[in-house]
Amino acid sequence: MTGGKEPPAVAITGLNKWFGSHHVLRDVDLTVRRSERLVICGPSGSGKSTLIRCINGLEPYQGGRIALAGTRLDGHREAEMARLRTGMVFQSFNLFAHLTVLENCTLAPIHVRRMGRHRAEDLAMDHLTRVRIPEQARKYPGQLSGGQRQRAAIARALCMAPEIMLFDEPTSALDPEMVEEVLGTMVDLAQSGMTMLCVTHEMGFARRVADRVVFMDEGQIIEIAPTDAFFRTPRHERTRAFLGQIL
């Protein structure tokens, strides 16, 4: 490293991915600075989830490179490292139904990080308090509302002390009245300085917290711009058409 400059949180260059003969990510270049908040939007099937999953080490890719804080993800071990360093929240709450919220939160810290149960539980309660559901700790996911479940999923991810949080349409499966409480939790997280990559079509959220917005279509990044410029003066016709549909 030169000049003592910190490497970016995520550095993606020339990323290409195919599912069989279907070319789903095409020459994607993307750099995310530490503490930056990025919102990714784009039509269904444009490759947003696949991109997030590549960063998380969940999907292999065939061309290009991804580095997290300067460390390249290449082999199997590196992909595992990526999963430990990134926290992921999906559209459908991936909580274990047979474990309480607290147990969901302490599982990986205890079994992967080898943390003592007491410490893991204290940490989990801190994060459940942070997402404002400490009173739900002893309940099972099935006893929670959708919004509470999604906040539990965020707390669970935070318990692994991720360097970056990845969100894949975290509010799109929620009833409308629960969207705000989850977005509120994400706003709090953004204000705490967490590096965040959020796939979402909640443009109010984007305007409030995103530093930059990315528009993807057909596996490519069509446009990436500071939030204000993105909404005020989208440069590409496809971005304008998309914004016209969802705003």
Chain positions contacting ligand ADP, by CB under 6 A: 19, 22, 24, 42, 44-50
CA pair distance 137, 134, nearest whole angstrom: 6
In the bound state with ligand ADP, the residue whose beta carbon lies nearer, of 60 and 70, is 60
- Tell me how far, at minimum, the Cβ of 115 lies from ligand ADP, in Å: 33
Q: Choose the contact partner of 149 out of Mg ion, ligand ADP, none; CB within 5 to 8 A by kind.
A: none
DSSP string, the chain: --TTPPPPSEEEEEEEEEETTEEEEEEEEEEE-TT-EEEEE--TTSSHHHHHHHHTTSS--SEEEEEETTEE--SHHHHHHHHHHEEEE-SS----TTS-HHHHHHHHHHHTS---HHHHHHHHHHHHHHTT-GGGTTS-GGGS-HHHHHHHHHHHHHTT--SEEEEESTTTTS-HHHHHHHHHHHHHHHHTT-EEEEE---HHHHHHH-SEEEEEETTEEEEEEEHHHHHH---SHHHHHHHHHH-
171 binding Mg ion? (CB under 5 A) = no
**CB 139 → ligand ADP: shortest distance, Å?**
31
CB of 38 to ligand ADP, least distance (A): 15
CB-wise, 71 or 172, nearer to Mg ion?
Answer: 172
User: Which partner in ligand ADP, Mg ion, none is near 227 (CB below 5 to 8 A by kind)?
Assistant: none
Question: Does 49 sit near Mg ion (CB under 5 A)?
Answer: yes
Nearer Cβ to ligand ADP, position 23 or 130?
23
Report, in Å, the least distance between residue 50 CB and ligand ADP.
3
* Residue number with CB closer to ligand ADP (19 or 96): 19
| Phi, psi (deg, nearest 5) at residue 18 | -120, 145
Q: Which does 24 bind (CB under 5 to 8 A by kind): ligand ADP, Mg ion, none?
A: ligand ADP
Q: Which does 19 bind (CB under 5 to 8 A by kind): Mg ion, ligand ADP, none?
A: ligand ADP
Nearer to ligand ADP, 7 or 43 (CB): 43
Footprint of Mg ion (CB under 5 A): 49
